[in-house]
């Protein structure tokens, strides 16, 4: 191959790279956001949780346990949105689905708007690409469920709300909606903040924020427990009973698919970890230790991508989406490479020890 041919191919590759960079950094902001979200929806798809109708059963009368399967009782603890559906009389299956879809898109909107309000434009666009890469952006659409409302509350607590009383109130609401992921996710963030103290690593979240959310969530769960007792709502112990009943399958999934276990923790987000040195940052115990703590959740859940996306969200917001210094270390070429990888790597959802693609095909996959 002649030197001229090599230079021509190199020039073509550079031109393509420059086109991607211009699309990311030079396109009108509204077009960049619209295009990114459109690609996300096209790539991931939108579909309800296969058992979404059970949420509607709870919404028909949230003051009684009408779930026929004993191990479905854990759905009663996702009580807030079924109660709101009952309260507003918007509790048919279609109405509940529309409500949850709107809340899921509201979560994405809060994150995107917050990024562009709080960060310089170039850094906000890099953060937007990272948000697209993280499983949480697709997970909330892939399975429309009780996670959408919980994530909306989490995003408000992380990006918007600063008042301590309001943070406790949000925590209470999270305790009524999605207690376990809330406590686990914000406990990991709290651990990270504690480990970062006394070091040069600055996380732009006050230590009081996750602490107040956890306190509020515990109060909300205790309040709901008292209400269930007064209403005579009884069942098994919820998610713990499910874990005990399915422990053999969970162990089998880990032993026979360790690579799926690893992917479920961060998904394509692992490329950010792999390129830390390229951003002039080093992995620290403030990030690694909480992430290892969160990884335990992948062992005890069947819908691993969904759960891991949810519980890692507070931690990844602190280290990646809110850290302007980290974002400024990702240059245009690296951002373009991230975008291209995300564009061409298919959506991979880990559940039941298997991989599933876009939600457009999910009902044919089970």
User: Is the whole model's pTM more than 0.85, yes or no?
Assistant: yes
- Between 303 and 221, residue with greater pLDDT: 221
Q: Determine the pLDDT at residue 24.
A: 93
Q: Determine the pLDDT at residue 339.
A: 95
Contacts 24+ apart (CB under 8 A), 334-340: 334/275, 334/278, 334/279, 335/21, 335/24, 335/25, 335/125, 335/126, 335/129, 336/17, 336/20, 336/21, 336/24, 338/129, 338/130, 338/133, 338/271, 338/272, 339/20, 339/24, 339/129, 339/132, 340/20
- Between 245 and 321, residue with greater pLDDT: 321
At 361, the pLDDT band (50, 70, 90 cuts) reads low
The pLDDT tens digits of the residues spanning 239-293 come to: 666 677 777 777 777 777 788 889 999 999 999 999 988 887 888 899 999 999 9
Average pLDDT, the chain: 89
The pLDDT tens digits of the residues spanning 159-201 come to: 999 999 999 999 999 999 999 999 999 999 999 999 998 787 7
DSSP string, 93-129: HHHHHHHHHHHHHHHHHHHHHHHHHHS-HHHHHHHHH
Lowest mean pLDDT among 95-109, 124-138, 298-312: 298-312
Q: Determine the pLDDT at residue 362.
A: 46
Q: Determine the pLDDT at residue 363.
A: 40
Lowest mean pLDDT among 15-24, 289-298, 320-329: 15-24
Distances (CA, A) of 178 to 170, 187, 224, 273, 291: 12, 14, 12, 28, 20
- Between 320 and 70, residue with greater pLDDT: 320
pLDDT of 5 > 60? The answer is no
Mean pLDDT for the stretch of residues 318-346 = 93
pLDDT of 4 > 60? The answer is no
Q: Determine the pLDDT at residue 234.
A: 82
Mean pLDDT for the stretch of residues 231-238 = 75
Q: Determine the pLDDT at residue 34.
A: 97
The pLDDT tens digits of the residues spanning 17-68 come to: 588 899 999 999 999 999 999 999 999 999 999 889 999 999 999 999 998 8
Mean pLDDT for the stretch of residues 84-100 = 95
Please say whether the beta carbons of 228 and 76 come within 8 A: yes
Q: Determine the pLDDT at residue 72.
A: 83
For residue 151, give the nearest of 102, 200, 209 by alpha carbon.
102
Q: Determine the pLDDT at residue 319.
A: 94
At 237, the pLDDT band (50, 70, 90 cuts) reads low
Q: Determine the pLDDT at residue 236.
A: 62
Three-state SS sequence of 321-352: HCCHHHHHCCCHHHHHHHHHHHHHCCCCEEEC
């Amino acid at each position: 191959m002649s030197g001229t041919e090599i230079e021509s191919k190199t020039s073509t590759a550079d031109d393509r790279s420059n086109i991607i960079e211009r699309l990311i950094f030079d396109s009108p902001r509204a077009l960049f956001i619209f295009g990114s979200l459109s690609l996300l929806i096209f790539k991931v798809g939108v579909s309800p949780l296969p058992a979404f109708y059970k949420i509607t059963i709870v919404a028909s009368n949230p003051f009684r346990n009408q779930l026929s399967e004993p191990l479905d009782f854990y759905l009663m603890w996702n009580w807030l949105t079924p109660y709101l559906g009952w309260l507003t009389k918007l509790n048919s299956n279609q109405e509940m689905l529309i409500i949850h879809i709107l809340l899921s898109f509201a979560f994405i909107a809060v994150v995107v708007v917050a990024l562009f309000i709080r960060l310089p434009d170039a850094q906000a666009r890099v953060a937007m690409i990272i948000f697209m890469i993280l499983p949480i952006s697709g997970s909330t659409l892939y399975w429309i469920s009780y996670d959408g409302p919980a994530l909306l509350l989490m995003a408000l607590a992380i990006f918007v709300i600063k008042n301590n009383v309001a943070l406790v109130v949000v925590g209470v609401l999270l305790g009524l909606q999605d207690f376990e992921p809330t406590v686990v996710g914000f406990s990991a963030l709290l651990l990270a903040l504690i480990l970062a103290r006394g070091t040069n690593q600055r996380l732009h979240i006050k230590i009081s924020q996750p602490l107040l959310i956890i306190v509020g969530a515990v109060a909300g769960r205790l309040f709901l427990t008292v209400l269930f007792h007064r209403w005579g709502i009884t069942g098994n112990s919820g998610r713990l009973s499910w874990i005990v009943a399915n422990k053999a399958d969970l162990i089998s999934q880990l032993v026979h698919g360790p690579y799926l276990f690893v992917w479920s923790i961060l998904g394509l987000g692992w490329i950010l970890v792999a390129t830390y040195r390229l951003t002039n940052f080093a992995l620290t115990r403030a990030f690694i230790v909480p992430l290892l703590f969160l990884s335990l959740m992948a062992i005890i859940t069947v819908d691993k991508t969904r759960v891991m996306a949810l519980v890692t969200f507070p931690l990844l917001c602190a280290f990646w989406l809110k850290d302007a210094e980290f974002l400024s270390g990702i240059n245009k070429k690296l951002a373009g490479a991230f975008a291209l990888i995300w564009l061409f790597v298919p959506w991979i959802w880990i559940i039941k020890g298997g991989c599933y693609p876009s939600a457009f095909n999910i009902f044919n996959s089970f």
